[in-house]
Chains A and B, each alone.
Chain A
Amino acid sequence: MFRIQDGCTIMFGGFGGIGNPPTVINGILEKGVNDLTLIGNDSGFPDIGIGRLVSQGRASRLIVSHIGSNPVAGQLMMEGKMKVEFSPQGTLAERIRAGGVGLGGILTDIGLDSMVEEGKQKVTVNGREYLLESALTADIAIVYAKKADTFGNLIYETSARNTNPLVAMAGRYTIAEVEEIVEVGELDPEMIVTPGIYVDLVVQSSGVDWKWAWE
Protein backbone atom coordinates (compact mmCIF):
# COMPACT_ATOMS: atom_id res chain seq x y z
CA MET A 1 0.00 0.00 0.00
CA PHE A 2 3.01 2.34 0.39
CA ARG A 3 3.02 2.71 -3.39
CA ILE A 4 -0.45 4.23 -3.41
CA GLN A 5 0.05 7.96 -2.80
CA ASP A 6 -1.92 11.19 -3.25
CA GLY A 7 -2.12 12.13 -6.92
CA CYS A 8 -1.29 8.75 -8.36
CA THR A 9 -3.03 7.02 -11.25
CA ILE A 10 -4.87 3.82 -10.45
CA MET A 11 -6.32 1.58 -13.12
CA PHE A 12 -8.98 -0.84 -11.95
CA GLY A 13 -10.50 -3.99 -13.37
CA GLY A 14 -14.24 -4.62 -13.22
CA PHE A 15 -17.49 -3.80 -14.92
CA GLY A 16 -20.45 -2.38 -12.97
CA GLY A 17 -18.71 -3.34 -9.72
CA ILE A 18 -18.38 -7.00 -10.78
CA GLY A 19 -14.72 -7.87 -10.78
CA ASN A 20 -13.66 -4.77 -8.82
CA PRO A 21 -11.25 -5.90 -6.06
CA PRO A 22 -13.17 -5.18 -2.82
CA THR A 23 -10.42 -5.69 -0.24
CA VAL A 24 -7.83 -3.56 -2.09
CA ILE A 25 -10.40 -0.79 -2.61
CA ASN A 26 -11.21 -0.77 1.10
CA GLY A 27 -7.47 -0.64 1.82
CA ILE A 28 -7.08 2.43 -0.39
CA LEU A 29 -10.06 4.05 1.36
CA GLU A 30 -8.58 3.36 4.80
CA LYS A 31 -5.21 4.73 3.77
CA GLY A 32 -6.97 8.01 3.01
CA VAL A 33 -5.25 9.03 -0.25
CA ASN A 34 -6.75 11.81 -2.37
CA ASP A 35 -6.49 13.45 -5.78
CA LEU A 36 -6.46 10.08 -7.54
CA THR A 37 -6.86 9.56 -11.27
CA LEU A 38 -8.98 6.44 -11.75
CA ILE A 39 -9.03 4.61 -15.07
CA GLY A 40 -11.49 1.80 -15.74
CA ASN A 41 -14.74 0.78 -17.38
CA ASP A 42 -17.17 2.72 -15.17
CA SER A 43 -17.57 4.39 -11.77
CA GLY A 44 -19.58 1.53 -10.23
CA PHE A 45 -22.46 2.24 -7.88
CA PRO A 46 -22.19 4.72 -4.96
CA ASP A 47 -21.48 2.00 -2.37
CA ILE A 48 -20.29 -0.78 -4.68
CA GLY A 49 -16.72 -1.40 -5.76
CA ILE A 50 -14.66 1.46 -7.15
CA GLY A 51 -17.75 3.65 -6.68
CA ARG A 52 -16.82 4.00 -3.00
CA LEU A 53 -13.60 5.86 -3.86
CA VAL A 54 -15.54 8.11 -6.23
CA SER A 55 -18.46 8.88 -3.91
CA GLN A 56 -16.10 9.62 -1.02
CA GLY A 57 -14.39 12.25 -3.14
CA ARG A 58 -10.99 10.54 -3.43
CA ALA A 59 -10.72 10.99 -7.19
CA SER A 60 -10.03 14.26 -8.99
CA ARG A 61 -10.18 12.68 -12.44
CA LEU A 62 -11.84 9.69 -14.09
CA ILE A 63 -11.18 8.09 -17.47
CA VAL A 64 -14.20 5.81 -17.98
CA SER A 65 -16.86 4.81 -20.49
CA HIS A 66 -19.84 5.70 -18.29
CA ILE A 67 -20.91 6.96 -14.87
CA GLY A 68 -24.64 6.26 -15.28
CA SER A 69 -24.88 3.86 -12.33
CA ASN A 70 -23.20 6.26 -9.88
CA PRO A 71 -25.21 9.50 -9.45
CA VAL A 72 -22.57 10.87 -7.04
CA ALA A 73 -20.03 10.80 -9.88
CA GLY A 74 -22.41 12.86 -12.05
CA GLN A 75 -22.94 15.34 -9.23
CA LEU A 76 -19.17 15.78 -8.59
CA MET A 77 -18.62 16.29 -12.31
CA MET A 78 -21.39 18.91 -12.58
CA GLU A 79 -20.02 20.74 -9.51
CA GLY A 80 -16.58 20.83 -11.15
CA LYS A 81 -15.03 18.80 -8.32
CA MET A 82 -14.02 15.92 -10.56
CA LYS A 83 -13.00 15.81 -14.23
CA VAL A 84 -14.43 12.99 -16.32
CA GLU A 85 -13.05 11.89 -19.68
CA PHE A 86 -15.40 9.54 -21.54
CA SER A 87 -14.07 6.94 -23.93
CA PRO A 88 -16.32 4.55 -25.87
CA GLN A 89 -16.23 1.26 -23.96
CA GLY A 90 -14.49 -0.83 -26.61
CA THR A 91 -12.04 1.97 -27.38
CA LEU A 92 -11.22 2.26 -23.67
CA ALA A 93 -10.60 -1.50 -23.46
CA GLU A 94 -8.22 -1.30 -26.44
CA ARG A 95 -6.44 1.80 -25.05
CA ILE A 96 -5.77 -0.14 -21.85
CA ARG A 97 -4.72 -3.24 -23.79
CA ALA A 98 -2.40 -1.09 -25.95
CA GLY A 99 -0.81 0.35 -22.81
CA GLY A 100 -0.28 -3.15 -21.49
CA VAL A 101 1.30 -4.57 -24.64
CA GLY A 102 3.74 -1.77 -25.35
CA LEU A 103 1.87 0.13 -28.06
CA GLY A 104 1.46 3.88 -28.35
CA GLY A 105 -2.20 3.81 -29.28
CA ILE A 106 -4.82 2.35 -31.58
CA LEU A 107 -6.69 3.36 -34.74
CA THR A 108 -10.48 3.08 -34.71
CA ASP A 109 -13.42 4.49 -36.65
CA ILE A 110 -15.57 4.48 -33.51
CA GLY A 111 -16.32 8.05 -32.48
CA LEU A 112 -15.80 9.65 -35.92
CA ASP A 113 -18.49 12.30 -36.60
CA SER A 114 -19.24 12.59 -32.87
CA MET A 115 -18.03 14.57 -29.84
CA VAL A 116 -15.48 11.81 -29.22
CA GLU A 117 -13.32 12.97 -32.17
CA GLU A 118 -12.77 16.46 -30.70
CA GLY A 119 -9.07 17.24 -30.29
CA LYS A 120 -7.93 13.91 -31.70
CA GLN A 121 -5.67 13.25 -34.66
CA LYS A 122 -7.21 11.56 -37.70
CA VAL A 123 -5.21 9.05 -39.68
CA THR A 124 -6.00 7.64 -43.12
CA VAL A 125 -4.96 4.04 -43.78
CA ASN A 126 -5.71 2.37 -47.13
CA GLY A 127 -8.18 5.14 -47.91
CA ARG A 128 -10.15 4.78 -44.68
CA GLU A 129 -10.23 7.35 -41.93
CA TYR A 130 -9.58 6.49 -38.28
CA LEU A 131 -9.16 8.29 -34.97
CA LEU A 132 -5.85 7.91 -33.19
CA GLU A 133 -6.65 6.96 -29.60
CA SER A 134 -3.70 7.02 -27.19
CA ALA A 135 -2.65 4.08 -25.01
CA LEU A 136 -3.29 4.14 -21.26
CA THR A 137 -1.04 2.94 -18.46
CA ALA A 138 -1.09 3.58 -14.71
CA ASP A 139 1.17 3.77 -11.66
CA ILE A 140 -0.86 1.01 -10.05
CA ALA A 141 -3.28 -1.53 -11.52
CA ILE A 142 -5.71 -3.32 -9.21
CA VAL A 143 -7.51 -6.44 -10.43
CA TYR A 144 -9.70 -9.25 -9.13
CA ALA A 145 -9.28 -12.91 -10.04
CA LYS A 146 -10.56 -16.28 -8.91
CA LYS A 147 -7.20 -17.94 -8.31
CA ALA A 148 -3.52 -17.03 -8.33
CA ASP A 149 -0.48 -19.16 -7.86
CA THR A 150 2.55 -17.84 -6.02
CA PHE A 151 4.16 -16.73 -9.32
CA GLY A 152 1.13 -14.47 -9.95
CA ASN A 153 -0.50 -16.49 -12.75
CA LEU A 154 -4.22 -15.68 -12.75
CA ILE A 155 -7.43 -17.40 -13.70
CA TYR A 156 -10.75 -15.61 -13.59
CA GLU A 157 -14.38 -16.45 -12.86
CA THR A 158 -17.21 -16.11 -15.41
CA SER A 159 -18.04 -12.49 -16.31
CA ALA A 160 -15.91 -11.13 -13.45
CA ARG A 161 -13.06 -11.50 -15.97
CA ASN A 162 -14.28 -8.49 -18.05
CA THR A 163 -11.51 -5.81 -18.13
CA ASN A 164 -9.29 -7.49 -15.52
CA PRO A 165 -6.84 -9.28 -17.87
CA LEU A 166 -6.33 -6.01 -19.80
CA VAL A 167 -5.86 -3.87 -16.70
CA ALA A 168 -3.46 -6.42 -15.19
CA MET A 169 -1.05 -5.80 -18.11
CA ALA A 170 -1.24 -1.99 -18.05
CA GLY A 171 -0.04 -1.23 -14.53
CA ARG A 172 3.58 -0.39 -13.71
CA TYR A 173 2.80 -2.19 -10.44
CA THR A 174 -0.09 -4.66 -10.52
CA ILE A 175 -1.90 -5.88 -7.44
CA ALA A 176 -4.15 -8.93 -7.88
CA GLU A 177 -6.76 -9.65 -5.25
CA VAL A 178 -7.84 -13.28 -5.44
CA GLU A 179 -10.30 -15.64 -3.85
CA GLU A 180 -7.70 -18.40 -3.52
CA ILE A 181 -3.91 -18.57 -3.61
CA VAL A 182 -2.30 -21.89 -4.61
CA GLU A 183 1.26 -23.15 -5.04
CA VAL A 184 3.01 -22.88 -8.41
CA GLY A 185 2.24 -25.92 -10.51
CA GLU A 186 -1.31 -26.26 -9.24
CA LEU A 187 -2.89 -24.20 -12.02
CA ASP A 188 -3.25 -25.87 -15.42
CA PRO A 189 -1.05 -23.77 -17.79
CA GLU A 190 -3.77 -24.14 -20.48
CA MET A 191 -6.24 -22.35 -18.19
CA ILE A 192 -4.05 -19.39 -17.19
CA VAL A 193 -5.39 -16.12 -18.63
CA THR A 194 -2.91 -13.64 -17.15
CA PRO A 195 0.71 -14.83 -17.07
CA GLY A 196 2.37 -14.09 -13.74
CA ILE A 197 4.99 -11.67 -15.12
CA TYR A 198 2.30 -8.97 -15.17
CA VAL A 199 1.47 -9.39 -11.47
CA ASP A 200 3.65 -7.83 -8.75
CA LEU A 201 1.61 -8.58 -5.64
CA VAL A 202 -1.09 -11.12 -4.81
CA VAL A 203 -3.54 -10.30 -2.01
CA GLN A 204 -5.99 -12.70 -0.38
CA SER A 205 -9.53 -11.35 -0.79
CA SER A 206 -11.81 -10.90 2.21
CA GLY A 207 -14.77 -11.01 -0.17
CA VAL A 208 -17.44 -8.55 -1.14
CA ASP A 209 -18.81 -6.49 1.78
CA TRP A 210 -21.53 -4.64 -0.15
CA LYS A 211 -25.03 -5.51 -1.30
CA TRP A 212 -25.42 -5.80 -5.08
CA ALA A 213 -27.87 -3.49 -6.85
CA TRP A 214 -30.18 -6.46 -7.57
CA GLU A 215 -30.20 -7.74 -3.96
Chain B
Amino acid sequence: MSMSHDIRNRIAKRAAKEIKDGMIVNLGIGIPSLVPNHLPHDVYVMFHAENGILGMGKSPEKGEEDPTLCNAGGFPVTIVPGASYFDSATAFGMIRSGYLDITILGGLEVSEKGDLANWIVPGKRVPGIGGAMELAKKAKKVIVVMNHCNKKGEPKILKTCTLPITAKACVSMIITDMAVIEVTDKGLLLKEVMAPFTAEEVTLKTDAPLMISEEITTVT
Protein backbone atom coordinates (compact mmCIF):
# COMPACT_ATOMS: atom_id res chain seq x y z
CA MET B 1 0.00 0.00 0.00
CA SER B 2 1.63 3.21 -1.12
CA MET B 3 0.52 5.54 1.62
CA SER B 4 2.65 7.83 3.75
CA HIS B 5 3.55 6.91 7.30
CA ASP B 6 1.62 9.95 8.57
CA ILE B 7 -1.59 9.01 6.76
CA ARG B 8 -1.37 5.38 7.88
CA ASN B 9 -1.00 6.56 11.48
CA ARG B 10 -3.83 9.03 11.12
CA ILE B 11 -6.16 6.21 10.02
CA ALA B 12 -4.88 3.99 12.84
CA LYS B 13 -5.39 6.78 15.38
CA ARG B 14 -9.00 7.28 14.26
CA ALA B 15 -9.65 3.51 14.39
CA ALA B 16 -8.21 3.40 17.93
CA LYS B 17 -11.02 5.72 19.10
CA GLU B 18 -13.54 2.91 18.46
CA ILE B 19 -11.84 0.64 20.99
CA LYS B 20 -13.25 0.88 24.50
CA ASP B 21 -12.00 -0.37 27.84
CA GLY B 22 -12.54 -4.11 28.38
CA MET B 23 -12.95 -5.07 24.73
CA ILE B 24 -11.58 -8.19 23.01
CA VAL B 25 -9.93 -7.01 19.79
CA ASN B 26 -8.32 -8.67 16.77
CA LEU B 27 -6.15 -6.64 14.40
CA GLY B 28 -5.24 -7.55 10.83
CA ILE B 29 -1.80 -6.91 9.36
CA GLY B 30 -0.72 -3.55 7.89
CA ILE B 31 -2.44 -0.37 9.15
CA PRO B 32 -4.48 -2.28 11.80
CA SER B 33 -1.24 -3.33 13.50
CA LEU B 34 -0.47 0.37 14.17
CA VAL B 35 -3.69 0.84 16.19
CA PRO B 36 -2.31 -0.17 19.65
CA ASN B 37 0.23 2.70 19.46
CA HIS B 38 -2.72 5.13 19.58
CA LEU B 39 -4.68 3.67 22.50
CA PRO B 40 -4.86 5.75 25.70
CA HIS B 41 -3.00 4.13 28.62
CA ASP B 42 -6.16 3.75 30.70
CA VAL B 43 -7.88 1.61 28.06
CA TYR B 44 -7.33 -2.02 29.01
CA VAL B 45 -7.90 -4.33 26.03
CA MET B 46 -7.22 -8.02 25.41
CA PHE B 47 -5.73 -8.39 21.93
CA HIS B 48 -6.50 -11.73 20.28
CA ALA B 49 -4.33 -13.48 17.67
CA GLU B 50 -5.49 -16.29 15.37
CA ASN B 51 -2.35 -18.33 16.02
CA GLY B 52 -3.42 -18.77 19.65
CA ILE B 53 -2.84 -15.81 21.97
CA LEU B 54 -5.30 -13.81 24.03
CA GLY B 55 -3.58 -10.86 25.70
CA MET B 56 -0.88 -9.64 23.33
CA GLY B 57 1.16 -6.69 24.55
CA LYS B 58 3.58 -4.26 22.96
CA SER B 59 6.29 -5.16 20.46
CA PRO B 60 9.44 -6.24 22.32
CA GLU B 61 12.57 -4.08 22.41
CA LYS B 62 15.15 -4.94 19.78
CA GLY B 63 17.20 -7.88 21.00
CA GLU B 64 14.43 -8.95 23.42
CA GLU B 65 12.38 -10.87 20.81
CA ASP B 66 11.18 -14.40 21.58
CA PRO B 67 11.09 -16.18 18.18
CA THR B 68 8.22 -18.45 19.29
CA LEU B 69 6.05 -15.58 20.56
CA CYS B 70 4.64 -13.86 17.49
CA ASN B 71 1.38 -12.43 16.20
CA ALA B 72 -0.57 -13.90 13.28
CA GLY B 73 1.57 -11.86 10.88
CA GLY B 74 4.72 -13.55 12.19
CA PHE B 75 6.09 -10.54 14.08
CA PRO B 76 7.38 -10.75 17.66
CA VAL B 77 5.04 -9.60 20.41
CA THR B 78 4.90 -9.68 24.20
CA ILE B 79 2.04 -10.66 26.49
CA VAL B 80 0.17 -8.81 29.23
CA PRO B 81 -0.79 -10.17 32.68
CA GLY B 82 -3.77 -12.51 32.27
CA ALA B 83 -2.72 -13.66 28.79
CA SER B 84 -3.23 -17.24 27.61
CA TYR B 85 -1.98 -19.54 24.84
CA PHE B 86 -4.11 -22.08 22.99
CA ASP B 87 -4.22 -23.94 19.67
CA SER B 88 -5.57 -22.41 16.45
CA ALA B 89 -8.86 -24.36 16.61
CA THR B 90 -9.62 -22.73 19.98
CA ALA B 91 -8.53 -19.34 18.61
CA PHE B 92 -11.12 -19.63 15.83
CA GLY B 93 -13.68 -21.12 18.18
CA MET B 94 -13.55 -17.82 20.08
CA ILE B 95 -14.08 -15.90 16.83
CA ARG B 96 -16.97 -18.04 15.54
CA SER B 97 -18.73 -18.01 18.92
CA GLY B 98 -18.82 -14.21 18.87
CA TYR B 99 -16.37 -13.29 21.64
CA LEU B 100 -14.61 -10.62 19.58
CA ASP B 101 -15.92 -7.10 20.12
CA ILE B 102 -13.99 -5.49 17.28
CA THR B 103 -11.85 -6.57 14.38
CA ILE B 104 -9.96 -4.08 12.22
CA LEU B 105 -9.14 -5.38 8.75
CA GLY B 106 -7.74 -4.15 5.45
CA GLY B 107 -9.97 -4.13 2.37
CA LEU B 108 -9.89 -4.22 -1.42
CA GLU B 109 -13.56 -3.27 -1.88
CA VAL B 110 -16.53 -2.53 0.36
CA SER B 111 -20.11 -2.35 -0.94
CA GLU B 112 -22.90 -0.03 0.21
CA LYS B 113 -24.46 -2.97 2.09
CA GLY B 114 -21.19 -3.60 3.93
CA ASP B 115 -20.04 -6.58 1.86
CA LEU B 116 -16.27 -6.95 2.12
CA ALA B 117 -13.83 -8.19 -0.53
CA ASN B 118 -10.26 -8.58 0.70
CA TRP B 119 -8.84 -11.97 -0.20
CA ILE B 120 -8.48 -12.49 -3.91
CA VAL B 121 -8.02 -10.67 -7.23
CA PRO B 122 -8.70 -13.60 -9.58
CA GLY B 123 -5.84 -14.27 -11.99
CA LYS B 124 -3.70 -11.53 -10.47
CA ARG B 125 -3.19 -11.67 -6.75
CA VAL B 126 -4.20 -14.72 -4.78
CA PRO B 127 -2.77 -14.46 -1.28
CA GLY B 128 -5.49 -16.67 0.18
CA ILE B 129 -8.17 -16.30 2.80
CA GLY B 130 -6.28 -16.63 6.06
CA GLY B 131 -8.64 -15.86 8.95
CA ALA B 132 -10.48 -13.03 7.20
CA MET B 133 -13.75 -14.90 6.59
CA GLU B 134 -14.22 -15.88 10.23
CA LEU B 135 -13.24 -12.43 11.51
CA ALA B 136 -15.40 -10.53 9.01
CA LYS B 137 -18.46 -12.70 9.56
CA LYS B 138 -18.34 -13.18 13.32
CA ALA B 139 -16.79 -10.16 15.06
CA LYS B 140 -19.42 -7.89 16.64
CA LYS B 141 -18.01 -4.83 14.90
CA VAL B 142 -15.93 -4.94 11.71
CA ILE B 143 -13.92 -1.82 10.87
CA VAL B 144 -12.22 -1.69 7.47
CA VAL B 145 -9.22 0.59 7.09
CA MET B 146 -7.96 1.20 3.57
CA ASN B 147 -7.11 3.71 0.84
CA HIS B 148 -10.23 5.47 -0.38
CA CYS B 149 -9.22 4.74 -4.00
CA ASN B 150 -7.09 2.09 -5.69
CA LYS B 151 -3.76 2.77 -7.42
CA LYS B 152 -5.60 3.88 -10.56
CA GLY B 153 -7.57 6.44 -8.51
CA GLU B 154 -10.81 4.45 -8.82
CA PRO B 155 -13.23 4.22 -5.87
CA LYS B 156 -12.97 1.15 -3.63
CA ILE B 157 -16.32 1.86 -1.97
CA LEU B 158 -18.84 0.55 -4.50
CA LYS B 159 -22.56 -0.13 -4.95
CA THR B 160 -21.66 -3.81 -5.39
CA CYS B 161 -18.29 -5.53 -4.96
CA THR B 162 -16.72 -6.66 -8.26
CA LEU B 163 -14.21 -8.98 -6.54
CA PRO B 164 -15.18 -12.26 -4.84
CA ILE B 165 -16.42 -11.38 -1.37
CA THR B 166 -15.02 -12.39 1.98
CA ALA B 167 -18.34 -12.00 3.83
CA LYS B 168 -21.70 -10.36 3.14
CA ALA B 169 -23.06 -7.36 5.03
CA CYS B 170 -20.36 -7.54 7.68
CA VAL B 171 -18.71 -4.10 7.71
CA SER B 172 -19.86 -1.51 10.29
CA MET B 173 -17.39 1.28 9.58
CA ILE B 174 -14.90 2.30 6.88
CA ILE B 175 -11.94 4.52 7.72
CA THR B 176 -9.87 5.79 4.78
CA ASP B 177 -7.34 8.51 4.01
CA MET B 178 -10.34 10.69 3.04
CA ALA B 179 -13.24 9.84 5.32
CA VAL B 180 -14.98 7.96 8.11
CA ILE B 181 -18.11 6.25 6.80
CA GLU B 182 -20.68 4.25 8.76
CA VAL B 183 -22.62 1.42 7.16
CA THR B 184 -26.27 1.85 8.20
CA ASP B 185 -29.52 0.05 7.30
CA LYS B 186 -30.33 2.94 4.96
CA GLY B 187 -26.92 2.98 3.26
CA LEU B 188 -23.55 4.64 3.73
CA LEU B 189 -23.34 7.63 6.05
CA LEU B 190 -20.42 10.06 5.76
CA LYS B 191 -19.67 11.08 9.35
CA GLU B 192 -16.21 12.61 9.19
CA VAL B 193 -13.84 13.87 6.53
CA MET B 194 -10.08 13.74 6.86
CA ALA B 195 -8.58 17.23 6.34
CA PRO B 196 -7.92 18.67 3.78
CA PHE B 197 -10.69 16.78 1.95
CA THR B 198 -14.26 18.05 1.71
CA ALA B 199 -17.52 16.10 1.69
CA GLU B 200 -17.90 16.91 -2.03
CA GLU B 201 -14.50 15.42 -2.82
CA VAL B 202 -15.30 12.29 -0.82
CA THR B 203 -18.65 11.91 -2.60
CA LEU B 204 -16.92 12.25 -5.97
CA LYS B 205 -14.43 9.49 -5.09
CA THR B 206 -17.12 7.12 -3.77
CA ASP B 207 -19.04 4.96 -6.24
CA ALA B 208 -21.86 4.09 -3.81
CA PRO B 209 -24.39 6.78 -2.81
CA LEU B 210 -23.35 8.62 0.35
CA MET B 211 -25.65 10.25 2.87
CA ILE B 212 -23.95 13.14 4.63
CA SER B 213 -24.35 13.34 8.39
CA GLU B 214 -25.88 16.53 9.78
CA GLU B 215 -23.14 16.52 12.42
CA ILE B 216 -20.29 15.94 10.00
CA THR B 217 -16.88 16.79 11.47
CA THR B 218 -13.35 17.13 10.15
CA VAL B 219 -10.45 15.01 11.41
CA THR B 220 -7.33 17.16 11.46
- Interchain CA distance A156-B68 in the complex, whole Å: 10
Q: How far is the CA of A102 from the CA of B134 in the complex (A)?
A: 24
Do the beta carbons of A115 and B67 come within 8 Å of each other?
Answer: no
Query: Known interface pairs A18-B67, A208-B67. Does A69 touch B168 (Cβ–Cβ under 8 Å)?
Result: no
Report the Cα distance A86→B128, complex, angstroms. 6
Q: How far is the CB of A64 from chain B (nearest CB, A)?
A: 7
Roughly how many angstroms separate A166 CA and B88 CA in the complex, as a whole number? 8
Is B49 at the interface (CB under 8 A from chain A)? yes
A158 near B85 with CB under 8 A, answer: yes
Partner of B134, one of A77, A88, A157, A162: A88
Most buried by B among A84, A113, A161, A165: A161
Could you give, for residues 58-91 of chain B, a 1 whenever the CB lies within 8 Å of some chain A CB and a 0 otherwise? 0000000111111111111000000001111101
Let me know if B52 is at the binding interface, CB within 8 A. yes
By beta carbon, the residue of chain B nearest A18 is B70
Q: Which residue on chain A has the smallest CB distance to residue B120?
A: A115
Q: Which of A25-33, A89-97, A133-141 contacts B (4 or more CB under 8 A)?
A: A89-97
Kindly state the separation between the CA atoms of A91 and B91 in the bound complex, as whole angstroms. Answer: 11
Q: Is there contact, CB below 8 Å, between B74 and A94?
A: no
B168 partner, pick from A89, A113, A213, beta carbons under 8 A? A113
Q: Residues of A contacting B127 with CB < 8 Å? A: 66-68, 74
A159, B70: Cβ atoms under 8 Å? yes
Complex Cα–Cα for A48 and B91 (A): 24
Q: Is the CB of A89 within 8 A of B130?
A: yes
Complexed CA–CA distance, A10 and B72 (Å)? 23
The residue on A at minimum CB distance from B128 is A66
Q: How far is it, in angstroms, between the C-alpha of A94 and the C-alpha of B75 when the chains are bound?
A: 25
* Distance (whole angstroms) from the CB of B58 to the closest CB of chain A: 14
| Binding-face segment, A104-112, A181-189, A198-206 | A104-112
A41 vs B73: C-alpha distance when bound (angstroms) = 12
Whether A157 and B68, one on each chain, are in contact in the complex, defined by CB atoms closer than 8 angstroms, is yes
Interchain nearest-CB distance for B136 vs A (Å): 10
Q: Does A65 contact B (CB under 8 A)?
A: yes
Answer yes or no: A163 CB below 8 A from chain B CBs. Answer: yes
Residues of chain A within 8 A (CB-CB) of B96 are 90, 108, 110
The answer to whether A88 touches B129, judged by C-beta atoms less than 8 angstroms apart, is yes
Q: Is the CB of A159 within 8 A of B164?
A: no
A177 within 8 A of B: no
Q: Which residues of B contact A84 (CB under 8 A)?
A: 126, 128
Contact string against A for B residues 97-134, beta-carbon threshold 8 Å, 1 for contact and 0 otherwise = 00000000000000000000000100001111111111
Total number of B residues with any Cβ neighbor in A under 8 Å: 45
Query: What are the residues of chain B within 8 A of A166 when measuring CB–CB?
Result: 87-89
Contact at A16–B52, with CB atoms within 8 Å?
no
Chain A residues lying within 8 Å of B120, measured Cβ to Cβ, are 115
Contact A162 B52 (CB under 8 A): yes
Q: Does A87 touch B at the CB level, under 8 Å?
A: yes
A65 touches B128 (CB 8 A): yes
From residue 143 to 174 of chain A, which have CB atoms closer than 8 A to chain B? Answer: 156-166
Whether A114 sits at the interface, judged by CB under 8 Å, is: yes
Chain B contacts for A41, CB-based, 8 A: 88
Residue contact B51 to A159, C-beta cutoff 8 Å: yes
B87 touches A158 (CB 8 A): no
A113 CB to closest chain B CB (Å) equals 5
- Which of B65, B68, B92, B95 contacts A19, CB < 8 Å? B68
B129: contacting residue among A65, A109, A193, CB under 8 A: A65
26 chain-A/chain-B pairs, Cβ below 8 angstroms: A16-B51, A41-B88, A65-B128, A65-B131, A66-B128, A66-B130, A67-B127, A69-B74, A90-B88, A90-B131, A90-B133, A91-B133, A93-B92, A108-B96, A114-B165, A114-B166, A157-B68, A158-B69, A158-B85, A159-B52, A159-B70, A161-B85, A162-B88, A163-B87, A166-B88, A208-B67
Q: Which residues of A contact B (CB under 8 A)?
A: 15-19, 41-42, 45, 64-69, 74, 77-78, 84, 86-91, 93-94, 96-97, 108-111, 113-116, 156-166, 193, 208, 212-214
Interface set of B (CB-CB < 8 Å, partner A): 49-53, 65-76, 85-89, 91-93, 95-96, 120, 125-134, 137-138, 164-168
